[in-house]
Chain A
Amino acid sequence: MKYLFLLPALLLAGSQATAADLTVAVSDAGGKPVPNTVVTWIPAAGAAIPAAEKGKVFVMSQQNVQFLPYVLAVPAGATVNFPNKDRVNHHVYSFSPVQPFQFPLYGKGKSHIMKFDRPGTVALGCNIHDSMAAYIRVVDTPFYATTDGTGRVMLKVPDGAGSLAIWHPGLDAPEHQMARALKLAGPSAQTFSVKVRPSAPTAGQY
């Protein structure tokens, strides 16, 4: 399952004359892997997002009074499903300038869809359950992936110059993002050692 999100990159790679394996590992200061980090590669020459990539099924479900996944990366122009798999109602909203929206109360088995055209971060909340939080990171490149528990991803990207960026909602950096310019010629392994702010405890808060 964790390799599914690499498929588009792999498919795309086939159309390139030369492709490089770009492996990225993200860990914290203590060496622990950092999951839920969105890794993007933007070639200097630019890269259009294929229609097939935008047309994929992206899901931000509500399950056990939590959003799943915590961080969802989608390419600009993609449509996201918001199914409610809980017994209780949810009222999903975002006031992020990138795309403010709300889905007023909806119950079990019901779903909403929303198209995200503008790149940026969409912070999600539920007006019924304050402790629910998640992020949709809208990226402007076909080369992207999100780290899992190992803190690693592998992207198939074209050789050449470009910008490698990582984003995490708690990353202690401007815009929660870090980037480095690279010139790729063949496989490359990049590591990021980052400081991630822990999220505040929700116990007994008001």
Chain B
Amino acid sequence: MKALPTKTIGWLAPAFWASLWLCSGVAQAETQLFDPGTYTAWIDLRVATADGERDWLDGGFGKLRYGDETTASIAQAAVLWKPQFTDTLSGYMLLQGVSDAEVPLGVEEAYIQWKPVPKSGFRYGVRAGQMFPPVSMEHDGTGWTPSRTITPSAINSWIGEEVLVRGLEVNAQQTFGGHRLGLTLGGFTRDDTAGTLLSWRGWALHDISSADNSELMLPDGENQGWYRIFHDNQAEMSRPVVEVDGRLGYYVRLDWKAPAALAVNAEFYDNQGNPNAVRNGQWAWGTRFYNLGAAYRLTATDELLSQYMVGHTITGWQVGRGRYVVDVGFESAYVLWSHRCDNGSRLTGRFDYFAAKDHSRRQIDDNSETGYAATLAWLKPMSDHLDVAVEALHVVSDRPARATHLLTAQQGQTQLQLALKLHL
């Protein structure tokens, strides 16, 4: 896919909306913009305690949302608005507040979706706006939240922080003989910094997802690799939703649902970032990944989910042998088992593996790591307006760069969380 200049995208957008409007035809249903059914809201009150190192939100290498602290906070306050413009054209916008995020208030996903009513086993749809590409199998709760645990896997935590894009996505599905095949194509801008945090901080497990204006803290201090290479050309906060190089990125996803208890998907993502481009202290990263996902329904009450991701990211200038000054391969996988209990609660266990391998300048900027995490969570809807969740998470990882914070490379950490989610 060749990059389109951003100017072209600029004039394409109004034409696209106009055609959408025409295609959707005359609304047969009442247009519902501010009807009570179009919005919902919730507040996620969190009590957490964790041992171990300083968390990444505070400039450390800690892998979790909390580190070396006991705290109560508003993990997320959100208003989700889903207006219906016509019976097939709808909107989606999530405004969120996160008390421990660097920029607490912002717009997470915001898009317009056109979904014609299927007339046969073929169906299709289009969405355009700010959205997470469909990678996570865990975020099927309301408002892109994980529905089985409090903390998503390492893979999907990263999607939530660095893979929020602005673009256009087309999806088509065909059912035949009990099989369902799906194809999704997306083209996007504003995801040039994907890879920044994954390289310099490493993998993490937390449930803070980014918004349009988010700023994500890099490990602090002047002996960090990012500072030793880029000095003041790299901001100490990475901004996940910015366009640096004017190039379009894309993703392709295939889905297959078997006439059995199995569904699998495969995706390729490439932001086509120009590693030489930098603007306002934000470097463009050339980031690609493959993601494979599988869901298997064991029984009516038990399911297995698994994802595997492998990718590569580069930024800066070439340093020989085809390598860039920051040049990191990354890989992660999880297996999740979830059981729905008779009383409506849900018990879930997950095992995560994650790794990164640095291919250049390891003497001053070693971004290699390996790690494992085990998560056990119990969620229960207590009433129509209150969900309760408890979670224990233990993570062990080995990252030589911790020496820059005078820590041993290997660190372990246990985090306990209690979440009270009050919702409309």
Could you tell me which A residues sit within 8 Å of B by CB distance?
87-89, 91, 93, 95, 100, 102, 104-108, 125, 127-128, 197-206
Contacts of A88 in B (CB 8 A): 37, 40, 82
Interface size on B, residues (CB 8 A): 49
Closest chain-A Cβ to B11's Cβ sits at a distance in Å of 30
Contacts of B178 in A (CB 8 A): 197
Q: Report the Cα distance A89→B263, complex, angstroms.
A: 28
B117→A91 contact, CB < 8 A: yes
B118→A125 contact, CB < 8 A: yes
Contacts of A125 in B (CB 8 A): 118
Query: Is B310's beta carbon under 8 Å from chain A?
Result: no
**Among A108, A201, A204, residue most surrounded by chain B Cβ atoms (within 10 Å):** A204
Closest chain-A Cβ to B423's Cβ sits at a distance in Å of 11
* Total cross-chain contacts (CB, 8 A): 102
Stretch of B1-9, B193-201, B254-262 lying at the A interface? B254-262
Query: Is B238's beta carbon under 8 Å from chain A?
Result: no
B260→A198 contact, CB < 8 A: yes
Contacts of A100 in B (CB 8 A): 119
B255→A205 contact, CB < 8 A: yes
Can you give 14 contacting A-B residue pairs, CB < 8 Å?
A87-B37, A88-B82, A89-B32, A89-B37, A89-B84, A91-B29, A91-B117, A197-B259, A200-B263, A201-B261, A202-B140, A205-B255, A206-B134, A206-B265
Could you tell me which B residues sit within 8 Å of A by CB distance?
27-30, 32, 35-38, 40, 82, 84, 87-88, 90, 115, 117-121, 134, 136-140, 171, 178, 180, 182, 184, 253, 255, 257-263, 265, 293, 295-297, 303, 305, 424
Q: Report the Cα distance A199→B29, complex, angstroms.
A: 31
A200→B137 contact, CB < 8 A: no
Closest chain-B Cβ to A105's Cβ sits at a distance in Å of 4
Contacts of A201 in B (CB 8 A): 261-263, 295-297, 303
Contacts of A102 in B (CB 8 A): 117
| Other-chain residue from A104, A108, A200, A205 in contact with B29 (beta carbon distance below 8 A) | A104
Closest chain-B Cβ to A30's Cβ sits at a distance in Å of 11
Q: Report the Cα distance A200→B263, complex, angstroms.
A: 6
B117→A105 contact, CB < 8 A: no
16 other A-B residue contacts (CB within 8 Å) besides A87-B40, A203-B263:
A87-B424, A88-B40, A88-B82, A89-B38, A91-B87, A104-B28, A104-B29, A104-B87, A127-B87, A127-B88, A197-B178, A199-B261, A203-B138, A204-B138, A204-B139, A204-B295
